[in-house]
């Protein structure tokens, strides 16, 4: 069963690139703060690159004005996530997180099998809003859709 509002974020170590590959555990990422985490099936893929990540880049200051941190997650390595962020002009402070083995997607119950597309196991397209490590809102897309996990939708539905 996938994670639900009211559940605590599971403990997993994620990676990111900052002067080399760094590790961050989910308690450090989520506790004592408000965070919107959105996940994409893959860096450099069409919808992810043309709409999903750009929407959060465009609305980044609106989240920050509400005291909300923003993070992007994909089942890609940290080098790919870093290069993708650079290509799309991700602002400092918007974390580009690597869930390279899909451990976090699996722990959330939000993994999907994209083997038919040669991509293996990936994260579903989703966004979640958490306060102090507890999920408050969860927006999971139906397969092939991009509606409820957009920056605009998330901003309109969180406190």
Residue 48 a catalytic site member: yes
For 11-145, list the strands marked E by DSSP. 13-17, 21-25, 34-40, 68-74, 95-98, 111-113, 121-123, 126-131, 134-140
Question: Which string of b and e fits 108-125 if b means at least 16 CB within 10 Å?
Answer: bebbbebeeeeeeebbbb
Determine contact, residues 70/63, Cβ cutoff 8 Å.
yes
Q: What are phi and psi of 4, to 5 degrees?
A: -130, 160
Task: Say which DSSP state 89 is in.
Answer: T
Pick the catalytic residue from 40, 43, 48, 88. Answer: 48
C-alpha distances in angstroms, 157 versus 3, 51, 124, 144?
18, 19, 20, 22
- Kindly list the catalytic residues: 48
């Amino acid at each position: 069963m996938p994670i639900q509002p009211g559940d605590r974020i599971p403990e997993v170590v994620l990676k990111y690139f900052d002067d080399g590959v760094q590790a961050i555990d989910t308690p450090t990422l989520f506790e004592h703060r408000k965070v919107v985490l959105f996940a994409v099936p893959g860096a450099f893929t069409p919808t992810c690159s043309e709409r999903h990540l750009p929407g959060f880049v465009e609305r980044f200051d609106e989240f920050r004005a509400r005291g909300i941190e923003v993070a992007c997650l994909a089942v890609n390595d940290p080098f790919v996530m870093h290069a993708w962020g650079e290509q799309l002009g991700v602002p400092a402070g918007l974390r580009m997180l690597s869930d390279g083995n899909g451990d976090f997607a699996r722990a959330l119950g939000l993994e999907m099998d994209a083997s038919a597309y040669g991509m293996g196991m990936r994260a579903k397209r989703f966004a979640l809003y958490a306060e102090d490590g507890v999920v408050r809102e969860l927006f999971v897309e139906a397969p092939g859709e991009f509606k409820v996990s957009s920056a605009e939708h998330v901003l309109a539905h969180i406190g």
